[in-house]
Structure 1
Amino acid sequence: KLSTEVVDTCVESLQYGSQLVDSRKLIFHILYTLMGVSVYGTRLDGDNEEIRQFEENNEAFRTLAPNGLPSDTAPWLAILYRGTEKKVASLLRDSRDIICRLFAKAEETYISGQSDNFTHAILAAREEAIREEKEDAEYLTRGNLILLVRNTFIGGTDTSAGILQWLFLRMAKEPKIQEKIQKEIEDNIGSNAPVYEDRAKLPYTVACLMETLRCHPISPLGLPHKTSVDTKVGDVRIPKNTGIMFNIYGVNHDPEIWDDPQQFRPERFLDPMTGKLSQDAKQVLTFSTGPRTCPGEKLAHVDMFYVLVRLMQRLSCSAPGEPLGRERG
């Protein structure tokens, strides 16, 4: 499996023994490589100029606007942060150009009727929509397809990286969580490369990911939206073109929905009788919901599972200054 190969390569690049590692860079590199193949059919290795530039742009963006821009929630604030706005706009243009080049490369390899990656799949969907004269065919322009693929790539990497970082921090703070995950993995799949079907064998591991998604939504207020028509929610009338923010953090921590919402408790997603993933567990809205849900959600869930399991098979983590657990192969 590609995920196993990528994680193993990154782990083996580290020196033997305990050392400080910037988990953000490690996790982002793994996810960029995986998502590059899934979305574009391109192996975004460390020597790849495009991925190197993309990583540099993202690092610069996080330095300039670690919590996003003030204008994301109040557009008029842009006039007070013109310097930052211009720098961010330049970074976004560079990243857009990289995305366009990756899309063009995937487009060149597309053969009608064959879908080897996500870009090929949406090109095939456009062909079908045009051939069958579907109503939505007019919206499947090349520009819109590039945006869709970009959102899938970025949505799948940024959220996954943030959630994995939070979970590693939690495991460093509470080693028993890490030990329980590693024991579950050892007892059920050993050192075998994880596959998607293993999710059913590793309910606690999956529950830890779900609880991290609940506790630490990467975009606490989601992304800004606006109403396309006049509408009504309860007794409140909302005019067309009204800005809308969705309090994802509030819903994920609502005591009327979740028991002890401030507590990290993966068991809330497990059936108390069987220990398996509960079919009645409440929905986590970190990726939003409905037609405007994050397009990278499914890929993110898959990649987070693969990466977490393989990393836990290969290494242990602890906070700086704390003793590491057992050495792993």
Structure 2
Amino acid sequence: MALVEELLLQPTSRSILLGAVVMLLTLVYFCSSRSSSQQQWKEPPGPKPLPILGNLLGIDLKRPYVSLCSMSKQYGSIFTVYFGPKKVVVLAGYQTLKQALVNHAEEFENRDITPIFADFNKGYGILFSNGENWKEMRRFALSTLRDFGMGKRGSEEKIIKETRYLREVFEQFKGKPFDTTQPVNYAISNIISAIVYGSRFEYSDPLFKDMVAWSNENIRLIGSASIQVYNMFPWLHSWVKNRKLIMINRENSIKGINRLVDRLQETLNPQDCRGLIDCFLVCKQKAEESGEKNTLFHKQNLLYTVANLFGAGTDTTAATLHWSLLLMAKYPHVQDRVQEEIDRVVGDRQPVMEDRKNLPYTDAVIHEIQRLANISPMSLPHTTTCDVHFQGFFIKKGTSVLPLLTSALRDENEWETPYTFNPAHFLDKQGRFVKRDSFMPFSAGRRVCVGESLARMELFLFFTSLLQHFRFTAPPGVSEDQLDLTPAVGFTLRPSPHKLCAISRSA
């Protein structure tokens, strides 16, 4: 003890001891700060996963968005779920989606390319690519689509022309029940075809019919339970029948597009581009002539970009139009008000985009159809481009992130009656149309739908033109209450199979 006291009295010993104490306190502070930081930036909560299976037993693989919405009520607007062994962070609610996709757009911009989409697109095109390929193809598509009048007068004329062909098909049924699916799919497909290829197709064209069928079947199959399981356990590929069907359809579709591209190549005039493909071929030709070795304007990117535009440009808009006709038959009092407004404002002439500002109720109905139809309930998955600190949680770089779009379209904090068809959601007390920020059927941020402006124009012109000429009703013997609004299973949500009567209003 005396020795210790003696050492403490020595200046050198006191300095050493003081330094040791300072180091100890610094270490304690660092550890406590780190512990506090880890607590502050913890990972999002979620249900406890099972080994290998993850949270698979708690998810309805046919309608996973329903299960995820239910989980969000328990775990909050940002939570973790395991699809098999794969960790996924789910974003729910309008405010969270906006903050992630818009305010933190760069951190959440990458696409999570799941096994089926990797098989499907091979890293080419727009929808399922990342990095420079995605940026270049998206930039090219946007600028070229604008040049060909996407959302402007040029595409308006194409749409108006196509509404007449569709009306002719509807008239052939003379008020008898029929399935609207095929003619509507052909009409919507022809809009993107006219912009991409430079011309429309006859509805009877065999290649056109096959390409629409392949695309529609693939979108349905991608939403099947077996494909969800394949995405979790890709080593099962040999036993997943739906994957084989998807790949056969995809191969056929790419071959069909290639045939059409070759035809356009033979008659290409760089001074007079007929559509997006011509513009791409000109860019490809210039790159080859300049000796550019790493150009992204090559055949594979062309084929898959066209396939992306054709599939995405057809399915969601056509599905929304199917819902619109079904909902008009389901709610005849809404159809009455729409037709009264169209008759009063437009009369017998062809509706045009300029009419939209004078048709507030009709515009509100179209928006409410999109909201309730909930075509893309989960959007396409993203991944984080870096480590992200978000809403008090830590999300590691490369984590799969799933924006739950349905949670914004049916956010109980944003919509007065989120689960019912209510056009008043988009009207003020004076009956004027009002925009709603939580209306995001096209997603948001850097991955927002390339064809949003075109889709909006298509929906308005087809809807007003059809309602101007026809009254849509349930088949004889079927009441409005018996019309089923349960969506069919698929990657996007279409109505379940049904028939309607299109009764001419001029009869």
Shared fold per TM-score greater than 0.5:
yes
Contact 2:364 2:427 in 1 (8 A): yes
Which of 264, 289, 313 in structure 1 is aligned with 2:421? Answer: 264
- The Cα of 1:7 is off from its aligned counterpart by 2.8
Cα distance in 2 for residues equivalent to 1:103 and 1:257:
46
Question: Which aligned pairs between 1:253-292 and structure 2 lie closer than 5 A?
Answer: 253-273=410-430, 275-278=431-434, 280-292=435-447
Distance 2:502 2:216 in 1: 31
* Pairwise CA distance, 1:216: 1.7
Q: Distance in 2 between the 1:202 and 1:289 partners? A: 26
What is the root-mean-square deviation of aligned Cα atoms in Å?
Answer: 3.2
In structure 2, distance between residues paired with 1:109 and 1:301: 33
Q: Residue in 2 aligned with 1:3?
A: 159
Matched, 1:183 2:340: yes
1:232 match:
389
Contact 2:471 2:505 in 1 (8 A): yes
Deviations 1:133-155 (A, max 9, x none): xxxx9555553344333323322
The offset of 1:109, in angstroms, is 5.6
Other structure's SS at 2:172 match: coil
Distance 2:281 2:390 in 1: 37
Is the CA contact (8 Å cut-off) linking 2:328 and 2:335 kept in structure 1? yes
Aligned to 2:41: none
> 1:49 aligned to 177, 201, 206, which one?
206
Q: How many angstroms does 1:75 deviate by?
A: 1.1
Matches within 5 A, 1:52-91: 52-58=209-215, 60-61=217-218, 65=221, 67-68=223-224, 70-72=226-228, 75-77=231-233, 79=236, 82-91=240-249
User: C-alpha displacement at 1:19, in angstroms?
Assistant: 0.6
Quote the residue 2:323 is aligned against: 166
State whether residues 193 and 200 of structure 2, in contact with CA within 8 Å, keep that contact through their aligned partners in structure 1.
yes
How far the C-alpha of 1:28 sits from its partner, in A, is 0.5
What is the alpha-carbon distance in structure 2 between the residues aligned to residue 237 and residue 22 of structure 1? Answer: 49
- For 1:134, the equivalent position in structure 2 comes to none
> What amino acid maps onto 1:42 in structure 2?
S
| Aligned partner letter, 1:162 | A
SS in 2 for 1:97: helix
Deviations 1:56-92 (A, max 9, x none): 32454466x2834543586125528611211111112
Match of 2:463 among 304, 308, 315: 308
Opposite residue 439 of structure 2, the aligned amino acid is V
Instruction: Determine the C-alpha separation between the residues in 2 that align with 1:291 and 1:30.
Output: 29
Report the residue type matching 2:328 in the other structure.
M
Change (3 A) 1:250 1:4: same
Q: Quick check: 18-27 or 232-241, which moved more?
A: 232-241
Distance in 2 between residues matched to 1:5 and 1:325, nearest whole Å: 20
Q: Does the Cα contact within 8 Å between 1:172 and 1:319 map onto a contact in 2? A: yes
Task: Give the count of matched residue pairs.
Answer: 321
**C-alpha contact 1:35 1:153 (8 A) present in aligned 2:** yes
Post-superposition offset of 1:17:
3.4
Distance 1:113 1:195, change over 3 A: farther
For residues 103-122 of structure 1, the C-alpha deviation after alignment (integer angstroms, 9 at most, x for no partner) is: 45456665446554344566
C-alpha contact (below 8 Å) 1:228/1:240 kept by paired residues: yes
Hey, what does 1:133 align to over in structure 2?
A: none
Letter in 2 for 1:288: S
When structure 1 is superposed on structure 2, of 282-291 and 137-146 the one drifting more is: 137-146
* Alignment match, 1:195: 352
Matched, 1:99 2:260: no
2:354 partner amino acid: E
Are residues 227 and 66 of structure 1, via their aligned partners in 2, closer, same or farther at CA, if it must alter by over 3 Å? closer
CA distance in 1: counterparts of 2:252 and 2:502, whole angstroms: 42
Give the whole-Å Cα distance in 2 for the aligned partners of 1:129 and 1:292: 27
1:325–1:50 CA distance, 2 compared to 1 (3 A): closer
Task: Give 1:100-115 correspondences, 5 Å limit.
Answer: 100-106=258-264, 111-112=269-270, 114=272
* Structure ID, larger Rg: 2
What per-residue deviation string (whole Å, max 9, x for no partner) do you get for residues 3-49 of structure 1? 34433333334436321111111211111122211232121212323
Moved more, 300-309 or 194-203: 194-203
- 1:8 aligned partner, one-letter code: R
Distance in 1 of aligned mates of 2:175 and 2:193: 30
- For the residue of structure 1 that corresponds to 2:379, the secondary structure is coil
Matched letter for residue 82 of structure 1: V
In structure 2, relative to structure 1, the CA distance for the partners of 1:69 and 1:112 (3 Å cut) is: farther
Displacement after TM superposition at 1:209 (Å)? 1.5
Q: CA, structure 1 residues 83+325, in 2 after alignment: closer, same or farther (shift >3 Å)? A: closer
Quickly say closer, same or farther: Cα 1:17–1:154, change in 2 above 3 A: same
Alignment gaps of 5+ in structure 1: 131-136
TM-score, normalising length from structure 1? 0.84
Match of 2:68 in 1: none
Tell me which residue corresponds to 2:185: 28
CA drift at 1:328: 1.6
Partner of 1:147: 304
2:429 is aligned with what amino acid? P
Q: 1:125 to 1:302 in 2, by over 3 A?
A: farther
Residue type at the aligned position of 1:328: R
Q: Is the 8 A contact 2:195 2:276 kept in 1?
A: yes
The letter for the 1-side match of 2:249 is: L
Matched, 1:328 2:505: yes
DSSP 3-state at the match of 1:317: strand
Change in Cα spacing, 1:325 to 1:37, as seen in structure 2 (3 Å) is closer
